[in-house]
Amino acid sequence: MPKADSPPPSTPAVAELGLTVKGQVQSSSDLNAAVTAAKQRFVGRNPNSAKLFEEATEYLPGGNTRTLLYSAPFPICMKKGEHYQVFDEDGHAYTDFVGELTAALYGHSHPLIQESLINTINNVGLNLGSTIAQEAKHAKLICERFSLSKVRFCNSGTEANLHALAGARHYTGKRKTVVFSGGYHGAVLGFWDGVQDNGVDKHEWVIGRYNDVEGAKKLIEQDDIAAVLVEGMQGAGGCILGTNEFLMQIQESAKKVGAVFILDEVMTSRLGPGGLQAIDGLKPDLTTFGKYLGGGLAFGAFGGRVDIMAVYDPRSPNSLAHSGTFNNNTLAMNAGFVGLSEIWKPEVAVEFNKVGDAFRASLQEVTRGTKMSVTGRGALNAIHFSGNGTTEISCREAVDEDWGLKDLFYMEMMEGGFWITRRGSIALILGTPQSELDRFVSVVEKFLERHRTLVSL
């Protein structure tokens, strides 16, 4: 088993990739040709993934059960993960920058998580169909770390947001919720360019522009707003930072009209020991969580003010039901607790995010003056390729992503031994060696040199 700090065993050097390393790609009209060539190399390198994809299409629409993971011509099929690496079905090793979109924070084989899962299986069992002492222990830890009065568990970030919204509606007796374009709060709660076709329709959505302080104030300060749901940094939207002024305005306006301020920290809770809210001095009424807080298992949580969370107290005659067969499952309750108490200690959270800040600064250095930019905070980052020359990104409307360049980047980073998402998000996982972060910066630098005519501003 490779150690966490050993280099990937089969990472090809860029010069071996059959790319045009010496001569640059000459003409900006060559983007299509460069993407086509990269896709041909991709097909040639990954015959097993291609075959498995074909087989999967037999029973899964598009061979897929999670749309994000599909990319043309077919997605890479991973065989296993170890520590900070993943290994595909064609024998390639990658440094894992997908990090399961922040859920794989502890890596793929952390010994404490493994021990907790094995102990739970051997000594507790699965599916007890009852409350367990461990759920109150995990609840106490999460409440203390994130300054919540009460918390409830569920199975995903999507569910956490749905329950928080239902609670806010019940508490206020109102229906409208303010959200922001580019925001993503779960499978049926995406607001890329308005309400998505698969969106939940129980709510009345009012959609504002992210980081528009005056606009947010106007939208929230109406009589009939039940809740405001917002990310402190739009994660899936491309790691777009919310300014402190914008987030504080939301908090103040919500308070003024009695709307419930829900901060979605499904991704951002890992930016510091107490989440983004502690860093930014925010005091949301409710906060939603997910991802790594289940130790790597399916998990969600929502919690906050005691009077609002009381709507979920079954001792009250008018309470809301909160169902979910696996809400307090033994594995997530135990592994989540071990992860937060023994691995993700406050000092680890601080140090790891500093590593992420330094990594982003190095990337910003090499991308300066190009169409490529890197946004993010701490160890959560996103790559952008500007189609209109703008590299200052404050909201979705400001981003005009060049998907041709993004595809080229995605394909060539895989060839360089880095597993990233096609959309360009990078969620670092604990134990990633500094040498791999440095190597990525140099692979990016070479990419930009090789394609200078395509990426110059």
The residue ranges that bind ligand PLP (CB under 6 A) are 101, 156-158, 161, 184-187, 231, 235-236, 264, 266-267, 290, 300
Minimum CB separation of residue 234 from ligand PLP in Å reads: 8
- The minimum distance between CB 102 and ligand PLP, in angstroms, equals 7
Cβ distance to ligand PLP smaller for residue 187 or 428: 187
| Shortest distance in whole angstroms from residue 130 CB to ligand PLP | 25
Judged by CB, which is closer to ligand PLP: 247, or 266? Answer: 266
User: Which of 234/432 has CB closer to ligand PLP?
Assistant: 234
Tell me the closest approach of the beta carbon of residue 193 to ligand PLP, in angstroms: 17
CB closer to ligand PLP, 11 vs 234: 234
Cβ 302 to ligand PLP shortest distance, Å:
11
Minimum gap (Å) between residue 288 Cβ and ligand PLP: 7
What is the three-state SS of the chain? CCCCCCCCCCCCCHHHHCCCCCCCCCCHHHHHHHHHHHHHHHHHHCHHHHHHHHHHCCCCHHHCCCHHHCCCCCCCCEEEEECCEEEECCCCEEEECCHHHHCCCCCCCCHHHHHHHHHHHHHCCCCCCCCCHHHHHHHHHHHHHHCCCEEEEECCHHHHHHHHHHHHHHHHCCCEEEEECCCECCCCCECCCCCCCCCCCCCEEEEECCCCHHHHHHHHCCCCEEEEEEECEECCCCCEECCHHHHHHHHHHHHHHCCEEEEECCCHHHHCCCHHHHHHCCCCCEEEEEHHHHCCCCCEEEEECHHHHHHHCCCCCCCCCCCCCCCCCHHHHHHHHHHHHHHCCHHHHHHHHHHHHHHHHHHHHHHCCECEEEEEECCEEEEEEECCCCCCCCCHHHCCECHHHHHHHHHHHHHCCEECCCCCEEECCCCCCHHHHHHHHHHHHHHHHHCHHHHEC
- Is the Cβ of residue 302 or residue 440 nearer to ligand PLP in the bound state? 302
Residue nearer to ligand PLP on the CB measure, 102 or 391: 102
Nearer of residues 159 and 412 to ligand PLP, judged by Cβ:
159
What is the C-alpha to C-alpha distance for residues 442 and 188, in angstroms, rounded to an integer? Answer: 38
Q: Which residue is nearest to ligand PLP (CB)?
A: 157
Closest contact distance (angstroms) between CB of 110 and ligand PLP is: 20
Could you tell me the smallest distance in angstroms from the CB atom of residue 275 to ligand PLP?
A: 12
Q: What pairing do the DSSP bridges indicate for beta strands 372-377 and 380-385?
A: antiparallel
Minimum separation from the CB atom of position 266 to ligand PLP (A): 3
By beta-carbon proximity to ligand PLP, the closer residue of 18 and 324 is 324
Nearer to ligand PLP, 231 or 436 (CB): 231
